[in-house]
């Protein structure tokens, strides 16, 4: 099964999606399952995982409702305030939501020290005890703190979204690789090959420019801990869905069929316990 491990849905509102600036005019509209499904069919992607883009309980409920209505949305990575004192009770309230796979927060907008707060670490530990994964949405400047966090909660399933968003437009890779390498040595940490074209120049990126980042990700994590994600519809500011799929399909053609299958779906299924 081919799985898009990272995409979003929203009913656009300028205040709720304030991060969508004027330069992203193309995605200042609603994006819903009826918009994505034809693209999945055209590109022979069987299913997807819906990931939060807004920090609210309403967002999590919205995505879960969509997943109930569409079998091909295999699960949801939602949002919750993991630092709250009554997190155990909150998690109990999700017991019947079998499509809730894990949680995520927009950590990239926060200081790296935020990841090391006692209440946040405690929250990560609690969701792990309940079988949930955690998506790390971070920049390279967060990688050192992320490693400290990861080591405080051994065997918690983490996945690094968008390969930690290296600044491809600036050709930044040496320090990124150096910071990412010790994290990749933790066998319970995975990585998404997603969101890379939006870290390059939106109007002039090339496959050759992205190649080093794909190769380094493969070197560090291997096929069994790498997963394809489109980051649709955010990707549309830099390329269409077919271009994003084609980029990873072409890159994985060098691998064995089993390794390619892992990156294009098997890894996501294993990581999210689908």
Domains of the chain (ranges, CATH numbers): 3-271 (3.20.20.140)
Confidence category of residue 19, pLDDT binned at 50, 70, 90: confident
pLDDT given for residue 18 in this prediction: 86
pLDDT given for residue 48 in this prediction: 98
pLDDT digits (tens, 9 = 90+) for 20-37: 888 999 999 999 999 999
**Numbers of helices and strands, H then E, in the chain:** 10, 8
pLDDT given for residue 153 in this prediction: 96
pLDDT digits (tens, 9 = 90+) for 134-147: 999 999 999 999 99
Q: Which residues contact 87 (CB under 8 A, 6 or more apart)?
A: 80, 81, 122, 123, 126, 127
Confidence category of residue 17, pLDDT binned at 50, 70, 90: confident
Confidence category of residue 189, pLDDT binned at 50, 70, 90: very high
What is the rounded distance in angstroms from the CA atom of residue 113 to the CA atom of residue 261?
Answer: 37
Q: How far is CA 19 from the centre of its chain?
A: 17
pTM value > 0.75: yes
Cα-Cα-Cα-Cα torsion 65, 68, 73, 77, nearest 10 degrees, comes to: 50
Rounded average pLDDT over 77-94: 96
| The pLDDT of residue 14 is above 90 | no
């Amino acid at each position: 099964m081919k799985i898009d491990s990272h995409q979003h849905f929203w009913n656009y509102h300028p205040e709720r999606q304030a991060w969508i600036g004027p330069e992203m005019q193309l995605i200042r509209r609603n994006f819903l399952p009826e918009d994505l499904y034809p693209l999945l069919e055209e590109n022979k992607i069987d299913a997807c995982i819906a990931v939060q883009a807004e920090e609210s309980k309403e967002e999590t409920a919205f995505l879960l409702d969509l997943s109930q209505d569409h079998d091909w949305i295999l699960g949801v990575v939602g949002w919750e305030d993991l630092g709250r004192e009554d997190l155990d009770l909150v998690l109990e309230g999700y017991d019947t939501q079998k499509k809730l796979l894990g949680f995520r927060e927009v950590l990239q907008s926060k200081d790296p020290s935020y990841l090391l707060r006692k209440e946040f670490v405690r929250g990560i530990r609690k969701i792990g005890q309940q079988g949930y994964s955690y998506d790390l949405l971070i920049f390279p400047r967060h990688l050192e703190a992320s490693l400290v966090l990861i080591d405080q909660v051994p065997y918690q399933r983490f996945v690094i979204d968008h390969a930690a968003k290296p600044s491809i437009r600036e050709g930044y890779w040496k320090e990124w690789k150096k910071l990412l390498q010790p994290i990749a040595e933790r066998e319970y940490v995975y990585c998404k090959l997603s969101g890379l074209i939006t870290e390059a120049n939106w109007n002039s990126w090339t496959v050759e420019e992205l190649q080093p980042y794909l190769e380094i990700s493969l070197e560090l994590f291997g096929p069994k801990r790498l997963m394809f994600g489109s980051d649709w519809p955010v990707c549309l500011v830099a390329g269409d869905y077919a271009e994003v799929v084609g980029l990873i399909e072409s890159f994985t053609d060098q691998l064995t069929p089993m390794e390619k299958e892992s990156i294009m779906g098997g890894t996501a299924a294993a990581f999210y316990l689908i």
